[in-house]
Structure 1
Amino acid sequence: MGSGDALSRLRDICLALPEAVEKPFGGHTAPSFRIRDKLFTMTSEDGTTMMLKAGPGVQEALVAEAPERFFVPAYVGSKGWVGARLDVEQDWDEIAELVEDSYRLIAPKRLSARIRPRSGEPG
């Protein structure tokens, strides 16, 4: 999958979340996604990677399990964010789940509650 296809797919996942908006980060032109002006997903300028907030232990587990797909990003990795490579084969259901989890960690509870549970999740 080309980086444009991956970014398009990522954009669809992010913008489907309540009140999510796309807005570049700082002086960059790369897409980033926010809820009430707080970042929950960022992409690299070249579109080959993305970064998102993860709960305790998630970053370590993903990087240990699939280092070809996940990494500890510079600057935000120390704060628990995890990086995902978009220029390799990814499990897009897993990426959607990670994006939703990042959103839930950032968004107000009222907005988080509006996300429909994924198949197999308690409703």
Structure 2
Amino acid sequence: MTDRADVPPEVLAALRGICAGLPESYEEPAWVGTRWRIRQRTVLHVFTAHPGSTGAFSRAAELTEPAVVMTFRAQAEEFDSLVGAGHPFFRAAWGTQVVGMIIEPDADWTEIKELLTESYRELAPAKLARLLP
């Protein structure tokens, strides 16, 4: 069984590639898993969640087996749409407009890049957000 903090290397590599294009974002260990930040704001947090042992996250995502979970910010309209769509999206257990997503083996990395770019836009200073295409 994977430890809660473990995220498969291929998932971390894909997320690193996406976040490398976000001006001044940086990666750091989180209390569990890994997060990417802009200044002191978390753009993305990823970790392996286990049913029953990760409390609110496993309940929110209705996990029945270990899963790689990421959380990110979304604009109000996008938040409602994503959370309303259901699996693999869910309302994260904390914060406002924080979306949770289960990263499955067949994840659409183009969509994930778009979602994380928008999360960055929500949190970055306007000067940095304008640097994105």
Alignment correspondent of 1:121: none
What does residue range 63-78 of structure 1 map to in structure 2 within 5 Å?
63-65=83-85, 67-76=86-95
* Between 12-21 and 43-52, the greater mean CA deviation after superposition: 43-52
Per residue, is there more strand in 1 or in 2?
Answer: 2
AA in 1 matched with 2:91: V
1:88 Cα offset (Å): 4.3
Alignment correspondent of 1:105: 122
Higher RCO (CA < 8 A, seq sep 6+): 1
TM superposition score normalised by structure 1: 0.79
Aligned residue pair count: 110
1:45 Cα offset (Å): 4.4
Summarize deviations over 1:24-71 as a string: whole Å, max 9, x none: 23x33x110001121111112457010000001222211333x22211
Unaligned segments of structure 2, at least 5 residues: 1-6, 50-66
Q: What is the distance in 2 between the residues matched to 1:94 and 1:50?
A: 13
TM superposition score normalised by structure 2: 0.74
Give RMSD over aligned pairs. 1.9
